[in-house]
Amino acid sequence: MPVTADLLDAARAAPGFMPDDEGTALYEAARAVAVPGPLLEVGSWMGRSALYLAAAARETGRQVVTVDHHRGSEEHQPGWEYHDPTLVDPAVGLLDTLPRFRRTIADAGAEDVVIAVVARSEVLAPLWATPLALLFLDGSHTEESARRDQDAWVAKLAVGGTLAIHDVFPDPADGGQAPYGVYRRVVASGEFTELPGTGSLRLLGRTSSPR
């Protein structure tokens, strides 16, 4: 489908940190989910992963909901490795990636399938009642915030749905351990079965309701 190919090309060209093989795996996982419901990602940055999900959503008649406060994670703040001063809103002195995110989605022609919610994930979660077909966790990677996202959202994934977790590195030398901790806790719950992943992207299918 040419429109889907265009969205995948736009995802590859968009600013962000997700390698294409992992983004393509996320797209394939979202396209393969059989249960009804939207696709929801926690952590959007400038929209790259949202476009991989949008390609799957367009093929399957779904919507993508992105949840991000758009103030950046810890590593994006002044003095940290990934800080970009051009993203700071001078009026408030804080990062604001929302304009760049909206431009990414608009330039790709994906505004019809991507719904952006500007909020902290734990603030939105208590208001959310629709079972999710796919949940993609890629928010802030501190232990506290990663656990908070897990506690807020994993229970909202439908049986038969897919949980995707990004930046899972079993070896501390390769990256932070917070997403790996989420992955291990989810596996230990006994509610999921592991699906083939790619790189640092782990995929798990929900097989039973939360206990």
Q: What is the pLDDT of residues 11-23, one digit of tens each?
A: 999 988 899 999 9
**Under 8 Å between Cβ of 133 and 161:** yes
The identity of residue 59, as a single letter, is E
The identity of residue 63, as a single letter, is Q
- pLDDT on residue 78: 61
* Whole-Å CA distances, 175 to 10, 62, 91, 126, 141: 27, 33, 34, 31, 10
Per-residue pLDDT tens over the stretch 111-169? 999 999 999 999 999 999 999 999 999 987 788 889 999 999 999 999 999 999 999 99
Which listed residue (69, 70, 83, 141) is catalytic? 141
- pLDDT on residue 74: 60
Which of the listed CATH numbers 3.40.50.150, 1.10.540.10, 2.60.40.420, 3.40.50.300 matches domain 2-206? 3.40.50.150
Beta-strand (E) ranges in 12-139? 39-42, 64-68, 88-89, 94-95, 114-118, 132-137
Q: Which two tokens stand for residue 175?
A: 């990256």
Does 85 score more than 90 pLDDT? Answer: no
- pLDDT on residue 17: 85
Does 180 score more than 80 pLDDT? Answer: yes
Q: Which two tokens stand for residue 144?
A: 């506290």
| Neighbour order of strands in the sheet with 192-198 | 114-118, 64-68, 39-42, 132-137, 157-165, 201-206, 192-198
Burial class of residue 122 (count of CB atoms within 10 Å of its CB; 0-12, 13-18, 19+): middle
Does 80 score more than 80 pLDDT? Answer: no
Does 1 score more than 70 pLDDT? Answer: no
Does 2 score more than 60 pLDDT? Answer: no
Per-residue pLDDT tens over the stretch 27-78? 999 999 999 999 999 999 899 999 999 999 999 999 999 999 988 766 655 6
Report which of residues 75 and 103 the model is more confident about. Answer: 103
Active site residue 141: yes
Is pTM beyond 0.85? Reply is yes
DSSP letter for 108, please.
T
**What's the rounded Cα separation, in Å, for the pair 77 and 75?**
6
Does 82 score more than 90 pLDDT? Answer: no
> How many Cα atoms within 13 Å fall on the side-chain side of residue 196?
5
